[in-house]
Amino acid sequence: MDFHQLAINGLLGTPSIRNSAFEEIKRMGHEPIRFEDSMRYIHEDSIQTCLEYVSKSDIFLLFIANKGGTIVVDERKSVTHLEFLRAYYEKKRLIVYVYDQVLDTYFQQVRYQILKALKAFIHEHGKEPDSMFDFINECVNGQLLNDIDPYVWYFLYDAEQKGVYFERCSIGTEVVSNIAAYLSSLFKESLQYLNIRPEIEQSLEYVNVYGDYYEKSLELVSLFHKGQITNWRSFLAILRSQMCGFNILTTRTKYQQESAGAIMDSNALTVYERISDQMICKEYDGIATPDNFSLDDLTSYVVQTYHDHENNEKLYYSLEKKTCYFLFKAGPYVFCFHLPLLGGWDPYKLQTFQDYIFNAILESKGYTYCSYIKKLIGGLINE
């Protein structure tokens, strides 16, 4: 676990607090990062380097003193403020210590001035100021209250609006024990999640898969009107885009695997509809030259799939075209995916890996849409 430690410099005594915290965190076996001695420049832009180190960290530990730090003119924010915002928006754990004189002055004087002036401004203009930095600076009349840089008030106000909780610290007061206790508590809290880490990772995977499935399903449903598909080409394009290829691996030794070949992404999808005594190609997407078939033509993959009243999916091969065909029936329709074969294939090899290929397709994300279409169109109903 990495801890990112930064500060708004200028308060006499703050460097010693930061140094103590840095050494204690390192002693606890974590990896504290501090600009002056921990960072290696990964960009010519030093600010970008700082921000990327924040992104790599798990916790952002911040000390706020009486100086605002270096202002980035184009951003109208200090470097540390930019780092804080990066940590906040990336949902890092935030630990913010504020020197007690600064915190007291903010809550006892400055905060009231800001809120009062802001209420009056909104009442007059019907909106918040375009620049809260300029507005807050004007609220305190640009004066140094207790030798505190006005920018600090803007920083504290912004952090407070984001729901950040402030810890208090003082010159000469040991905060290391407080930080150690906090991290210890955080570690104990984390243990319960470590025990169920596999389940959490599996759940995250499901979130990604089913989130995408939900969106694509809505796209497919939007192409239906009064029980009919209004745009077959778009419908097939969405469906084909989800049927992705995969490698076929064979175990050669205990620890190594070699590729026996691969099934590539679907390069075509055709759909056939039974009309009278024929299976007519209704539409296709991709690289295909589909034909129509008589229902008596039992050599046709499409006809064989249609005549299977148990609605089983089918897998066929053409070595000549170096393609395998995955078919399923949905009501009066038969869908056929064209899946190119990559690598050297012969009848024996195809026979050897047939079950593997078939099962891999049935377990793929692409097949979840096929199953969905079967139910949507009524493919589970025996005719």
> Domain map of the chain by residue range?
2-194, 202-377
- Short-list 116, 151, 109, 111, CA closest to 131: 151
Higher-pLDDT residue of 36, 321: 321
Distance of CA 249 to the CA centre of its chain: 29
Confidence at residue 32, expressed as pLDDT on a 0 to 100 scale: 73
pLDDT at 383 (0 to 100): 41
pLDDT of 237 strictly over 70: yes
Q: What's the pLDDT score for residue 78?
A: 87
Tell me the per-residue pLDDT of 318-372, one tens digit each, with 9 for 90 and over.
989 999 999 999 989 999 999 999 888 888 888 888 998 999 999 888 898 888 8
What are the tens digits of pLDDT across the range 241-277?
999 998 887 765 555 566 778 899 999 999 999 999 9
- As a whole number, mean pLDDT of residues 1-18 equals 45
**Cα 369 from Cα 375, distance rounded (Å):** 10
| pLDDT attached to residue 142 | 56
Least confident segment among 12-16, 180-184, 340-344, 352-356: 12-16
CATH number assigned to the domain covering 202-377: 3.30.450
Q: Which two tokens stand for residue 58?
A: 């798990």
Specify the higher pLDDT residue, 233 or 177.
Answer: 233
**Whether the predicted pLDDT of 6 surpasses 70:** no
**What are residue 80's DSSP bridge partners?**
none
CB neighbour list of residue 271: distance below 8 Å, 6 or more residues apart:
232, 236, 281, 282, 283, 284, 333, 334, 335, 336
CATH of domain 2-194: 3.40.50.10140
Token pair 């300029």 is at which residue? 134
| Mean pLDDT along residues 80-105 | 88
